[in-house]
Structure 1
């Protein structure tokens, strides 16, 4: 009787969690586009056609299917509409992980869904006009398909379904390739324990051969565009530095768990937990070890670039949330003092996560639309703006287009225009040149960006 009651309540509880996740993402999606979102929108506008999205941008900031969405809704669309694809994808991902967790227990499904609903990383990326949230949905769907297949619940091979997941995911964000490596390794190591090396290798190759073809097609599209349009370009490329590597990982884990500012030494707890796990009954250990340990170690060994960007480690965050939910569920079921420790840890994570989500909704990534509001208050008919540097141009253009406010951006002009805009990339400490053509500017507005995403800016006005 109790089991039947629980089964009837489960869909309603899951629906409530999904509504919570949706509400947090809609709240986080307020305000103007941030830097990478704005450049994606500008690139989609300049591409002009769907074919141009695939062949003419040739930039790492182009997440193809997301750019296609931005082209569809229009450059001057409200930011909430530009972010709607990510909001929907991230909310659906909550359903997918609930189904994944429910395979071991109804309560585990709900706990996994709750962690995914409130995790600041997923709320932030799930409310941005970028390809990370749809890519995560594709990867998590692949995990669910493989988990069922490995358990023998699917007679038919999921090879074609997996190929579709990874093909679509790669067209949203190429970092799904990190997930593909972890997933393929998970399948191989699970089958090897069961069937031996040879049979496991053959079965893994058969399963992922269509995926390899699909991902190869994505690379062929990118390569064709690069060869016919003067190469492939990167917005920025930083060489490997160990401290940046640690900082990127720490920030990802901090915002995954709602504990930003986590000291570097605490980072060692993650691999330590994995070493101690075999006796705890946690499932999918090969996947978690490859995603949380193997992937970062591979980056360090290969001396990969751009390792300071926390988004690089999204695979680690997704795997950690699935792992953490199962660990908390097992300890709470086990009873005794561990139940109370696990419950307390879960409450801390949930409270910290919701606190970060509220801060995102308040701060709005530094809200580029606030720049336009400040300009409108002083120049209702439009404004000419001197831009200090070039990187903030897309932010200004997208915010002005969404607000339907006419602006003209200049780099150098005498007499100087009335306003000067300074966009501090990565919070850089340098100050703008506030004297132009013998005239001085003074600050009139600005915002500091907090959280996992966004960049601070300052607006200046010419003084008499």
Structure 2
């Protein structure tokens, strides 16, 4: 299945064609490893607890929860208890490295060295991709297998190549096991194949032969996905997340290529630029008679809109569209590569857009490298250090989220004093010594004092921040004031 026009011969020197892409992949890999050093945040810990609660790998298929990304949870199950957090993230890191290698290969085979370098620059500086490639969840392997399946599809050929077809099937099966959003790319590939199917039919090829061929390529993975949907995804429990408006969700989703943007006016600009690039890139491929335009229209626009419109999910996060990002950058690289060779002003426009992508992603990237996804272990260590007696009682503004993190991190703390977590219904009896509040908003500022009815007041002890973007929470730690310092109730 050939996409149309072949690659152009560009940058024939060994430095540009071989060494520079390798350096770009190496640089992105270093960013991923540095980003994977810090504490595990709540959703990663939740996945680890799923893995630890399973007695056998098969039992993982019975935890029908949206935070149970099956392939990643299976890896965590096999990894077992680890003292170095980066081990839990190895699957994602390796998936990230493989994704960059595949992306460079795909862009080079389709459009040449220049576009491959541009694609690697854009992806290597993408905050959202580095974030997902350094996090112990299923998004990273889903991206890797989506790129692998796409690369296989382009090389299946006619007649069918058995090994490539088997690899395509395996990539689709592992991709959907990694994360449900893989289905976006699967349907986009099917849409692309259907356009080739119609072209083949117009050229006089037998309809029966083409139908059998199409079913042979997509049938086995489609059957597996259908069974998995009926068993696992359909009855799945949704854990939810921060509630935002539909308009804000749309803005943040189409702003992802420029990093995480909180300010509405800047998000509108990023949204507009992203939309224009998608339209211009797809039109460029259509004008060049490159049949891949149908794949990009489907993967970046039609399929996501169709899935959301049909399923109407109770909760939607912009990160669900992360799987589309590498393909957006691939399309952007084709557009920028064309601009570079089509005149002086277009060349400067391409340079400006690349600089805009890098600048937009730089701030959250630096913050991720410096602050990670939070400092939960350090907060609990501070509690241990500044507590007397053989027991310390902790509570917070969300029982289940706090409980999971404390349950995980207390295994790395001294055995004395013993940490207990008090539910809100137990506050009067337990009288918590410490109180923790959390927020995911970067601008959140904690109150200096919290007064809790019937149990006393709590003074701000410390702030334990995360990067402020994407994954993690700010923790605000409060210590109970001594009785003599308790405020006197009015009246």
8 Å Cα contact 2:253-2:321 kept in structure 1: yes
**1:330 counterpart residue number:** 338
Shift, 1:129, TM fit: 0.8
Q: Structure 2 vs 1, CA of residues 361 and 434 (structure 1 numbering), >3 Å: closer, same or farther?
A: farther
C-alpha separation in 2, matches of 1:24 and 1:41: 24
Match of residue 13 from structure 1: 20
Q: Which residue of 1 aligns with 2:419?
A: 407
Please state if 1:278 is matched with 2:295: no
Q: Given the superposition, is the C-alpha separation of residues 357 and 382 from structure 1 closer, same or farther in structure 2, using an over 3 Å criterion?
A: farther
Task: State the distance in 2 between where 1:260 and 1:193 align.
Answer: 42
1:211 to 206, 221, 240: 221
Deviates more, 1:446-455 or 1:261-270: 261-270
Give the aligned partner of residue 397 of structure 1.
407
Residue 222 of structure 1 pairs with residue 217 of structure 2: no
Partners of 1:4 and 1:109 in 2: CA distance: 11
Decide which moves more: 414-423 or 264-273: 264-273
Please state whether the residue corresponding to 1:457 is helix, strand or coil: strand
Q: Per-residue CA shift, 1:86-112, capped at 9, x if unaligned?
A: 111111100000000111212222221
State the aligned residue count: 452
* Structure 1: runs of 5+ lacking an equivalent: none
1:257 corresponds to which residue? 258
> How many Å separate the matches in 1 of 2:475 and 2:460?
11
- Quote the Cα distance in structure 2 between the aligned partners of 1:462 and 1:397: 22
The offset of 1:359, in angstroms, is 1.2
SS in 2 for 1:451: coil
Query: How far is 1:346 from its partner?
Result: 0.7
In the alignment, structure 1 residue 32 sits paired with structure 2 residue 52: no
Secondary structure in 2 aligned to 1:195? Answer: helix
Partner of 1:188: 194
Q: Per the alignment, do residues 214 and 430 of structure 1 end up closer, same or farther by CA in structure 2, a change over 3 Å counting?
A: farther
The 1:62–1:279 alpha-carbon spacing in structure 2 relative to 1, beyond 3 Å, is closer
Partner of 1:312: 320
Structure 2 counterpart of 1:63, from 69, 78, 84: 69
Q: 1:307 to 1:68 in 2, by over 3 A?
A: same
Residue 484 of structure 2 corresponds to residue 446 of structure 1: no
- What CA distance in whole angstroms lies between the structure 2 residues aligned with 1:93 and 1:63? 19
- CA shift, 1:17, in A, is 1.3
- Once the two structures are overlaid, the 10-residue window that deviates more, 372-381 or 136-145, is 372-381
CA contact (8 A) 1:247 1:264 kept: no
Instruction: Report whether the alignment pairs 1:82 with 2:97.
Output: no
Indicate the larger mover: 392-401 or 324-333: 392-401
Q: Distance in 1 between matches of 2:163 and 2:108?
A: 22
Give secondary structure in 2 for the equivalent of 1:454.
coil
Give, in whole Å, the separation in 2 of the partners of 1:247 and 1:48: 41
Deviation larger for 274-283 or 291-300: 274-283
> Counterpart in 2 of 1:115?
122
Gaps of 5+ in 2: 1-8, 483-491
More moved, 343-352 vs 278-287: 278-287
Check whether the contact 1:192–1:200 (CA below 8 A) recurs between aligned residues. Answer: no
Larger deviation, residues 206-215 vs 440-449: 440-449
Cα deviation for residue 188 of structure 1 reads: 1.1
Distance 1:133 1:404 in 2: 34
Tell me the SS of whatever aligns to 1:407: strand
* Map of 2:396 onto structure 1: 387
Q: Judging changes above 3 Å, is the alpha-carbon distance between structure 1 residues 424 and 279 closer, same or farther for their aligned structure 2 residues?
A: closer
Q: How much has 1:115 moved relative to structure 2?
A: 1.8
1:424 has 2:439 as partner: yes
| Larger displacement relative to structure 2 (123-132 or 162-171) | 162-171
Distance in structure 2 (CA, Å) of the matches to 1:287 and 1:294: 10
- In structure 2, the CA distance between the partners of 1:457 and 1:396, relative to structure 1 (3 Å rule), is same
Instruction: Check the 8 A contact 1:447/1:457 in 2, yes or no.
Output: yes
SS in 1 for 2:323: helix
